[in-house]
Chain A
């Protein structure tokens, strides 16, 4: 169903506009935690503006994929954001939209990988191979988490699942907190954050996401960067919505709780990036499998506690 409530669409627009702010907050907190002042939280906006003003250059070996991919990557993530109920009814919602959500993001990733291969550089190829490999391990995390929620609530759209979460059932609370942990892991893996990928590194050989967009420039790079920050907000918002703040608390206090949860998640990310070193690349799949195991655990908790 497509929502006819204009506020749903307004919430979505605000969501898109607010995405770089979350990245800015993570960077600011990270700088403060390591004793530096750091750039303003609005720095990502300035970066995007700078990129938008720049000329877009394509390598001589790049074909039409390189030109097409940025738009598809951005649209896929932006479309996925339509499926989240952000205070109002979700802009687009139907039973089974959790599957669409997962595969919209997968579509974005697929084109990102194609574009990286299209650039025909050895770095981009390496980044694409890493991205594809780790995606295999990251996908089950989402399905075990969202899937078990769907089974518990017996509903199949984000809007219905999240509306079905109530704070009265203590089991739900356990369930939701465990789900949040796996979503947080997913966020680290999917949004190229530490300890899986280092968003700040300048070392081509260690990068995953950054190396795939090494050849992108101008408006293309702006779209990639915005899509990346949007993806971060998407996962953080999904984790925050697990509390169902809007449904339980109403719009205004709900928004407050929702935003505080986002900032808390940003702080957790910043803390991890300050206090630990990045994993050796070969160990990343183990880390992701651990998150999958949490998802499985989630399902088990439910299955065994709801036995008649």
Chain B
């Protein structure tokens, strides 16, 4: 094995492991992919020799990440033979690499900018959509401006009558340049930026960012703080899953569960606000620990709210999952087979709904999940029903976990002073958000300052899954498929 295996949160010195020669790099990466490894993050950095590219993979049944890297020297032609030529799950990552570094993956079947919007298109390459030709084939373009108050994204359908033959999703309308901005900001503003990566995954993203920082300083938060972070993360998961279930009910015109799930979600996010002052958990997680702890009265309050939600949940769940009209809409709609899910590298909840166990909390336990595990069920039908039902199951599991943690919080310890960051190093943080695997890669320069940040939201993996799910379905079922994935535009576009 010529690749390097590392643990998440391990500090890797930039010169600790020399880059591989091009041929070795290609061979090693190909071998990893052939063994079924899934890309976790691809990141690059300008060095004195040229541009160095790292690719981190997660392999099944291995609790470590596999890392391969190479250098494209300054004078050299920046090109290599695309991995996605035969491994579809590298498609997006290679597009992004090309977009950010102009390293050309040759023979890439579908090279395009994935997130940088119109500026890129105007200056370099006009975006061209795939088209299906034939009698009775028509094209429907939706967005980026939608009829409802939702995020912008462009969907181009190739339809035969009401049936979708092909869907192409073009994003980038929310591109704010977070990765470029982050290294230039002071630490306080960095945190605010990280909180804005995806407004509904504030806690997961801040936890990933802060954990990576802590890894680089070598100081980990106390057990109490890790437990509170776990509580924050699960509250976020419960709230967002409830919100998605409400959205699914809305999209099939089922008014009662739509309103009821919305009410339950409000109870949970209001609880989050009672603890940290913001309904979406902004300001709760900070480098080195947490800004708001739970005192005994808040713990009681949290138990009370969660108890109420848990008491009301089964009836509403019943309503959505036992109504024949709702089942008729959800079952066998938007199917992603296990094979498709593996081939396109889908992660998180969407992968688990297609029968692939893929949960950072179980695969690479971090923080409190190292000490108390949380069940991560899978379903195998891969349809809208599976993705909805799995959310209901996870809500129950998370609330159970919350009760355990609230009843068993470790004693607080005095704060330790923050340390300085390791110089010339990087660390990969992996966190399970409510959609799936979030990765933050933080690199430091020789002076121990953050020089580069690479962020990957699970939406980056899963948008293509939605495109696959929509095929062969009625175009009027697309909004339902979309809601069942409930992906983030902002998290993808960064």
Chain B contacts for A126, CB-based, 8 A: 140, 162, 475
Residues 126-142 of B at the A interface (beta carbon under 8 Å): 138-142
**B-contacting residues, A30-46, CB 8 Å:** 30, 33-36
Chain A residues with Cβ below 8 Å from B184 are none
Contact B142 A34 (CB under 8 A): no
Given A33-B255, A204-B146: A280 in contact with B477 (beta carbons within 8 A):
yes
What residues on A are CB-neighbors of B252 within 8 Å?
277-278
A281–B141 Cα gap in the complex (Å)?
Answer: 20
Partner of B260, one of A35, A122, A123: A35
The number of residue pairs between A and B whose CB atoms lie closer than 8 Å in the complex comes to 90
Is the Cβ of A277 less than 8 Å from the Cβ of B476? no
Q: How many residues in B have their beta carbons less than 8 Å from beta carbons of A?
A: 32
B375 at the binding interface (Cβ < 8 Å): no
Measured CB to CB, the closest approach of chain A to B384, in angstroms, equals: 11
Residues of chain A contacted by B329 (CB below 8 angstroms):
277-280
From the candidates B138, B259, B333, B476, name the one contacting A206 in the complex (CB within 8 A).
B476
A98 to B148, CA, bound (A): 40
Q: Is A220 located at the chain interface by the 8 A CB criterion? A: no
Please tell me if A215 contacts chain B, counting CB pairs below 8 Å: no
In the complex, the answer to whether A198 meets B253 with C-beta atoms within 8 Å is: yes
Q: How far is the CA of A35 from the CA of B319 in the complex (A)?
A: 15
Instruction: List B contacts of A35 (CB < 8 A).
Output: 256, 259-260, 263
Say how far B30's CB is from chain A's closest CB, in angstroms: 40
Q: Which residues of B contact A205 (CB under 8 A)?
A: 140, 142, 475-476, 478-479
A274 to B255, CA, bound (A): 5
Q: In the complex, A115 Cα to B329 Cα: how many Å?
A: 31
Within 8 A of A (CB), among B258-303: 258-260, 263
Q: What residues of A have a CB within 8 angstroms of the CB of B251 in the complex?
A: 201, 203, 206
Instruction: Report if A195-B140 is in contact (Cβ < 8 Å); known contacts: A33-B256, A203-B147, A276-B254.
Output: no
Q: Is B23 an interface residue (CB 8 A)?
A: no
Q: How far is the CA of A274 from the CA of B258 in the complex (A)?
A: 9
- Does B188 count as interface, using CB distance less than 8 angstroms? no
Highest count of chain A CB atoms <10 Å: which of B249, B253, B333, B474? B253
B133 CB to closest chain A CB (Å) equals 16
Which residue of B140, B260, B479 is within 8 Å of A34 (Cβ)? B260
Give bound CA distance, A34 to B260, whole Å.
7
A216 to B162 CA separation, bound complex (whole angstroms): 24
Contacting B at CB under 8 A, from A4-50, are 30, 33-36
Q: Indicate if the CB atoms of A283 and B328 lie closer than 8 Å.
A: yes
Complex interface residues of chain A between 186 and 240 (CB less than 8 A to chain B): 194-195, 198, 200-206, 214
> In this complex, which of A198, A274, A277 has the most chain B Cβ atoms within 10 angstroms of its Cβ?
A277
Partner of A277, one of B140, B142, B148, B253: B253
**Known interface pairs A203-B147, A206-B479, A280-B476; 16 further A-B residue pairs with C-beta atoms within 8 A, sorted by A's residue number:** A35-B256, A125-B138, A194-B253, A195-B325, A200-B253, A200-B255, A203-B148, A203-B251, A205-B476, A205-B478, A274-B256, A275-B256, A276-B326, A278-B325, A279-B329, A282-B474
